[in-house]
Structure 1
Amino acid sequence: MAHDHHGHDHAHHHHGPPADGNFSQAFKWGIVLNLVFVAGEVAGGLWANSAALLSDAGHNLSDVLSLALAWAASLLATRRPTERYTYGYKGATIQAALLNAALLYLALGFILWETIDHLRHPAPVNGPVVMMLAGLGILVNGFTAWLFRRGQKGDVNVRGAYLHMLTDMLVSVGVVVGGALVYFTGWQWLDPAISFIILAVVGVSSWGLLRETVQLSLQAAPESIDVAEVRRFLLSRPGVTQVHDLHIWPLSTRDTALTAHLVRPGSENGNLFLRDLQHDLQHEFNISHSTVQLEDALPLMGAHGCCDEQVA
């Protein structure tokens, strides 16, 4: 006889940040501060004729859009499930993260084009203005990164915001140094050269985020979960002789689901077994939604391919 168990208990799921409350305020502050700063950088970059400032402003503008999309998706994820969207709208966080990663690299391509043009046609740069605005950027980006520090390990959306802000802060440090070098040496080519470095830093630092969001969009198991370890864990449960049809996928950037069939001859105390299993999956692997079917024996043919595993 088969038993189905659907784990919906989120009472202990506090590893990720909330979608509202403090992080809603963090999104608000981050968006407002960065919009004001972007406006200042664009004005200063045009006045100082600085490719580095303009490239940094372009990236900061993409961060504003990223923050807005991530915030909207996190709010959408709190909506209750419907008859059609039975998991709710949690998947919006994955789509937003993927879109943010794509927009970031699109912005990098545009900035690269502008930087090459500045390198081919160098013009005098106002070093003091560059240093002043980039110094302000250190404060703005550093403060915004600090707002997201608590949740950056539990949600790829929040981690994206945190890494972008932290990267921008470090890049602003580089712009300050570059502005000083241009001011004291007069080497105008240093400004676009520093812009190239900024592009490289942002591109490399964002690659992991892009890779992870693509994986999540394809319903790959989250990188934080070792599927082989989960399978070994299931096989170690009392009475379990085989695991098949094991699937682990992300419901959102914070929530993970699991389905599996466990061969457990006799299936005694099935309800108690399933309750304890759900609890352990939640606390050992942060899998918040589990659906497990218990079976007395293998299905007919028993052919489920490479994913079958049994106790030796």
Structure 2
Amino acid sequence: MGHKHDHSHHHSGGNVKVAFFLNLSFTIIEIIGGLYTNSLAILSDALHDLGDSLSLGLSWYFQRLSKKGRTKAFSYGYKRFSLLGAIINSVVLLVGSIFILTKAIPELFNPGETDAQGMLYLAILGIVVNGAAVFKLRKGESLNEKVVSLHLLEDVLGWVAVLIGSIIMMYTDAPFIDPLLSVLISLFVLHNVFKNLRKSMLVILQGIPREVSIGDIREKLKNIPAVMDIHDCHIWSMDGQYNILTLHLRLDNDYKLSEQAKLKEKVRNHLIDESINHVTIEFEGKDENCELEEC
């Protein structure tokens, strides 16, 4: 079966690399700026960005590793390794967000003084830098890249919130806005972290990809005259993008090998629009007894 190629995927490693260096450089500026302005929101976001920098570095490494071909140890190659980056990213943000909440919630009731004007300048810089990183990753197709891109988009939204908060603080006496922003940013990040972990775990646990329907596959294959029965179907994804299907087909006759080859090609053609990248087919005779009858 013809495999689907995503040409933007070839540039994804470079995109992650650029985003990594952008994020790491800005994290250093952010830590200095957060200490200077005495802003918990900025220091919290610095921790978030530090986690993102680690995540981006891991993503870059795992994405390069995932392009390696099959070996004696890994017969499917290293595609699934890119998932490790997505899971580590999520765990880093989970731990970081909980840490931020433990610091920000007490500050709500006893907020310290912050330099609102300094926060404003850092927020503008944060929007520009993180926006550039999101722009570099916007065409990423791997689950890993989508997770990283989402993290960076969250940073942009966080900086927009800091920008608005700093403007309010410049003109009103409302120091509680700084820790409040920290809490809101952390809760938003946690919400998305759980969503991403659920997606990653679905792949790790070999769940059926959301874009694939066993019912549709069965209906399409039943339209092939030679096929009497379809069973023992297994569908899973290597990395959230590359999907694999194995199935047994009971045929209505004893076909020659050359005829079976044509049937296999027909099966693959029927599945060309079903988001399946790799198909393994086992044919059975009409009177053959298969122990694996369920699909």
With normalisation by structure 1, the TM-score equals: 0.87
Counterpart residue identity of residue 73, structure 1 = F
In structure 2, the partner of 1:184 is 171
The Cα shift of 1:230 comes to 2.2
Task: Name the counterpart of 1:109.
Answer: 98
Query: Could you say which residue in structure 2 is the equivalent of 1:4?
Result: none
Alignment of 1:164 with 2:154, yes or no, is: no
Asked if the contact 1:48–1:127 (Cα under 8 Å) also holds between the matched residues in 2, the reply is yes
Cα contact 1:127–1:183 (8 A) shared by 2: yes
1:310 corresponds to:
none
193, 204, 210: which is aligned to 2:197? 210
Q: Which runs of 5+ in 2 are unaligned?
A: none
Per-residue Cα deviation, 1:100-122 (whole angstroms, up to 9, x for no partner): 21222111111111212433442
1:123 matched to which residue of 2? 112
Superposed counterparts of 1:1-312, under 5 Å = 10=3, 13-15=4-6, 17-18=8-9, 20=10, 22-151=11-140, 154-266=141-253, 268=255, 269-281=259-271, 283-297=272-286, 299-300=288-289, 304-305=293-294, 307=295
Q: Which residue of 2 aligns with 1:3?
A: none
For residues 288 and 58 of structure 2, what CA distance do their matches in structure 1 show? 45
For residues 199 and 163 of structure 1, what CA distance do their matches in structure 2 show?
14
Separation in 2 of the partners of 1:298 and 1:98?
47
Choose 201-210 or 124-133, whichever is displaced more: 201-210
Letter in 2 for 1:141: N
Q: Secondary structure at the match of 2:286?
A: coil
Aligned mates of 1:41, 1:100 — CA distance in 2: 20
Q: What is the DSSP-based 3-state SS (H/G/I as helix, E as strand, rest coil) of the residue aligned with 1:150?
A: coil
User: What is the root-mean-square deviation of aligned Cα atoms in Å?
Assistant: 1.9
Change beyond 3 A, Cα 1:187–1:232: same
Give, in whole Å, the separation in 1 of the partners of 2:97 and 2:287. Answer: 53
% identical aligned pairs: 31
SS in 1 for 2:57: helix
CA contact (8 A) 1:16 1:155 kept: no
Is contact 2:86–2:143 with CA below 8 Å preserved after alignment?
A: yes
Per-residue deviation, 1:89: 1.3
